[in-house]
Chains A and B, each alone.
Chain A
Amino acid sequence: MSDQIRRAARAGTTEPAWVRHTLIALALAFMALFLVLPLAAVFTEALRKGWDAYWEALKEPDAWAAIRLTLLTAAIAVPLNLVSGVAAAWAIAKYEFRGKAFLTTLVDLPFSVSPVVAGLIYVLVFGAQGWLGPWLQAHDIKIIFAVPGIVLATVFVTFPFIARELIPLMQAQGNEEEQAAIVLGATGWQTFWHVTLPNIKWGLIYGVILCNARAMGEFGAVSVVSGHIRGQTNTMPLHVEVLYNEYQSVAAFAVASLLALLALVTLVIKSVVEWRHERELKAAADLPPENPNVRPVPAVSAVAVS
């Protein structure tokens, strides 16, 4: 009887079982076809000729050079964008000022620019025929078709990730806690390190891993500025392209499998970060309501001491 009522009540906000199961099956089939299959294909193709061929492909000097260059690029681009992303988020989320909407759009801009265009604009500034080309040539500085150009293009493409994660988070949290810290005599840096940073740490970690994944995987922009010099200016994605075009399928997929692993690790860290963040939110929500009478004694004394 009560079971029947409950079913009738739920029928208002859900679908019959057969509809539910069909929709779930359709969604899973789509995901399997478009997401799981390509991922599985990378590893299958990489191991087509066995583990020995796989290791040989990864130990090859040019592959090593590409891995090192990719790590170097990310090691420069991610910290640069970390600092500027936090600065941009602080300015945009904590204050009201004229032109704020415009600045926010500018921060997002690199996402909407085609990677090829992103590479091209650096060629127009630093290339042989570009604005600074003659000057750079006179001083024997190479930016385009060299590592600095690759880093610059990567910085451009990955700039929005961290700011974009942080801005909505910091806006939602408001300024009250920071203002309290300032009123109690904290300096700006103390406020940032001890109040803001703990509040935004999950968003920050998430932004950094996304930024890193894109920095290591960027193809279009880097392809325009790199010049594809084997062993020198080929990042991992570019090395994959070179190998693939030379019909070295196993070697191409072997290097690609490292990038796919990076993507999987990124997804796992992202899920863990989200899970921990949710748990913290839930823990905060489960706390008893503020009431001085039922507060545990140690907490009161801690407040009194500080």
Chain B
Amino acid sequence: MSTAISSLPLPAATVPRRAPRRVLPGFNLTLGYTVLYLSLIVLIPLSALVFKTFTLNWDQFWAAVSSPRVLASYRLTFGASLIAAAVNVVFGLLVAWVLVRYSFPGKKIVDALVDLPFALPTAVAGISLTALLAGNGWVGQFFEPWGIQLAFNPNGVVIALIFIGLPFVVRTVQPVLEDTEQELEEAATSLGATRWQTFRHVILPSITPALLTGFAMAFARAIGEYGSVIFIAGNMPMVSEITPLIIIGKLEQYDYAGATAVATVLLLISFALLLLINSLQAWQRRRAGGAA
């Protein structure tokens, strides 16, 4: 270890602010183990998906991923996920704002409850939302007289996805809101801004990266969501069939190639969203670093 220190080509005058990084043991062990584990659990199985897709030629692949029934499922999955993520941005910001800025009785319980969709198994959420929203359910009965069906159609899909995505927005916005400097708001007010102007021009810009990150996370989760949706969707082909269910349907008919092709489309979209979320978070960190 001492050789590592002395071999560093540092001028004597500059004392290294961070000590040499490899003083701590275990680098090879932990990195090696992590890479091995990730390869076995994640990379090799995922590569099976890629290889299976390459056994199809382009026409077969295209036919599998663009049949009318599959296209209808993309429309539903993306449309419902977009609406749900947008609703989550509005109400997620509202909940985060209320939790950070105001005090009211039971605030700690409300704060803990925000994570319920993370902790509640999706199948439980699915059957419970279905029971609530069906025509004879606690909530559904109030909409039934107006001819509005909440369950067993795309409405149900959107509601289930709102439930699933809420914590993402709240939990990404909350810490940023806690860190915003009240001095800036005081300055804005003392310069004559109304409260709304302060929110619009001072607070909102500083939480925009977090809001977008939360939106992208909720959206990404909603695209792949299966458990909570299939109970409430009704699963009618062309109407209320989500893309993950298409994969299951193809698997049940032993159409492994077709299932793999659609899964590849979903996986590529997941990768794209993951990259987007990573760059949004980098933006967030730069924003935070610049403000400090």
Contacts and interface: CB of A to CB of B under 8 A. Distances in A.
B260 interface: yes
A228 to B, nearest CB: 11
A125 B52 CA distance: 10
A30 interface: yes
Contact of A125 (B44, B123, B125): B44
B94 interface: yes
Interface in B249-292: 251, 256, 259-260, 263, 266-267, 270-271, 273-274, 278
Interface in B94-132: 94-95, 97-99, 101-102, 104, 108, 110-125, 127-129, 131-132
A105 B133 CA distance: 38
B154 interface: no
B53 to A, nearest CB: 10
12 contacts: A11-B195, A23-B97, A84-B37, A94-B21, A103-B34, A114-B266, A117-B263, A224-B248, A262-B119, A263-B120, A263-B121, A267-B116
Contact of A259 (B22, B120, B189, B245): B120
A41 B132 contact: yes
A240 B127 contact: yes
Contacts of A192: 26
Contact of B121 (A36, A110, A219): A219
Interface stretch (A210-218, A286-294, A298-306): A210-218
Contacts of B31: 91, 95, 97
Interface in A234-278: 236-238, 240-241, 244, 249, 252-253, 256, 259-260, 262-264, 266-268, 270-271
Interface string A118-148: 0011111101011100000000000000000
- SS of A interface (majority): helix
Interface residues of B, number: 94
B19 A175 contact: yes
B38 A260 contact: no
A34 interface: yes
A159 interface: yes
Contact of A253 (B112, B127, B189): B127
Given A23-B98, A120-B251, A256-B123, A115 B227 contact: yes
Contact of B24 (A83, A179, A253, A268): A179
Given A27-B95, A124-B48, A210-B118, A219 B226 contact: yes
Given A34-B166, A42-B128, A106 B121 contact: no
Given A35-B117, A112-B220, A117-B247, A156 B30 contact: no
A72 interface: no
Contacts of B86: none
Given A39-B116, A124-B45, 11 more contacts: A19-B195, A24-B102, A42-B124, A84-B34, A97-B31, A108-B274, A117-B49, A117-B270, A125-B48, A159-B42, A178-B24
A219 B45 contact: no
Contacts of B128: 38-39, 41-42, 45, 253, 256, 260
Interface string A2-31: 000000000111111001100110111011
Contacts of A131: 48
A123 B131 CA distance: 33
- SS of B interface (majority): helix
A115 B24 contact: no
A203 interface: no
A179 B23 contact: yes
Measured as residues with beta carbon below 8 angstroms from the partner, the interface class of chain A is: 35 or more
A175 B278 CA distance: 25
A198 interface: no
A244 B182 CA distance: 51
Nearest to B44: A125
B41 interface: yes
B127 A252 contact: yes
B223 interface: yes
Interface in B33-92: 33-35, 37-38, 41-46, 48-49, 52, 91
A87 to B, nearest CB: 4
Contacts of A64: none
Contact of A114 (B46, B125, B244, B251): B244
The 3 closest A-B pairs by CB, nearest first: A217-B121, A114-B224, A12-B189
Contacts of A252: 127
B155 to A, nearest CB: 14
A87 B32 CA distance: 9
Given A113-B224, A120-B251, A34 B162 contact: yes
B190 interface: yes
A116 B224 contact: yes
Contact of A105 (B41, B104, B138, B278): B278
